[in-house]
Amino acid sequence: MTEQSQAYQKLAQDHIPKPNYLKNTVNAFWVGGLICVVGQVFNNWFIAQGIAKSTAGAYTAITMIFIGALLTGLGVYDEIGKVGGAGSAIPITGFANTIVAAAMDFKAEGYVLGMAAQMYKIAGPVITYGITSAILAGLVQWLIWR
Amino acid sequence: MDYLIAFVVGGMIVAIGQVIFDTTKLTMGHIMVIYVVTGSMLTALGIYDRIIQFAGAGASLPVSNFGYVLTKGVYEVLLAEGWAGVFNGVFQLAGGPIAAAIFFGFIFALIFRPKA
């Protein structure tokens, strides 16, 4: 590398924006926390309707998935994501978001090999690793505690 | 009070993900996978149950909860059916949410168009 290009590299390096760690983390915290509070509201409401605790948890998850999918379709979830980052990606609403967003993006490539195949771009790995580790972990837990 | 705990614990769980995202080259997809697998392991150790009892939706809304319901389903069916049930339990508890995600995901993607 010539002296000149080295100097340029250094100059360019200095201008790469660094993520604002504190701001990003604080934003993720309150956006994610708020999504959990909404989930807690639904959870308490289902339990108040006389639904068993474990079933109420599943209903809450389904309700939040519905909301996440709908807001993604409306283009609102992307706006939340710009502020929330991981705060909106990690909750279950963010999981629903990855499915709808990918499905919409690949609509143009067809309804079978485009949309239906590509909608699992991120959800697929999550489900694959989730199921594999669940079978292994559940098996270990059972062998220890049965 | 349960709202405050859900806010703080849920906020902390996702904030850890943000720190991982900002300080490594991992994508959100990688981080979601890490969360699910971690949730699964904490479930087998009996820890995730306790976090949920304490934090409610603060722990059951992050994707790590997928690991929890998947693993808990496997464990419960193993208890009931023995070895033969090893594959029968995965969707016992997680089936509803996964079905909902696929169904709503597909339907809403059919209805809506991405913003230009």
- Write the pLDDT tens digit of every residue in B84-104: 999 999 999 999 999 999 999
Interface of B with A in 43-102 (CB under 8 A): 43-46, 56-58, 60-63, 65-67, 69-75, 78-79, 86-87, 89-90, 93-94, 96-98, 100-102
Is residue B49 a part of any domain in this protein? yes
> What is the number of structural domains in chain B?
1
Non-local CB neighbours of A98 within 8 Å, separated by 6+ positions? A121, A122, A123, B29, B32
What average pLDDT does chain B have? 96
What separation, in Å, do the N-terminal and C-terminal C-alpha atoms of chain B show?
42
Q: Please state whether A110 falls in left (phi above 0), alpha (psi between -120 and 50) or beta.
A: left
Residue A32 to residue B10, Cβ atoms within 8 A: yes
In terms of Cα–Cα distance, which of B83, B3, B86, B85 is closest to A134?
A: B86
Asked if A52 and B45 count as a contact pair (C-beta separation under 8 A), the reply is no
Amino acid at B59: A
| pLDDT mean by block of 10 residues, chain A; 146 residues | 80 79 96 98 97 94 98 96 97 98 95 96 97 97 90
The pLDDT assigned to B116 comes to 64
Identify the DSSP state of A115: I
Residue B53 is assigned to a structural domain of this protein: yes
Q: How far apart, in whole angstroms, are the C-alpha atoms of residue A38 and residue A23? A: 23
CA atoms within 13 A on the CB side of B110: 9
Domain extents in chain A? 16-145
Quote the domain boundaries for residue B93.
Answer: 2-111
Residue B116 counted as domain residue: no
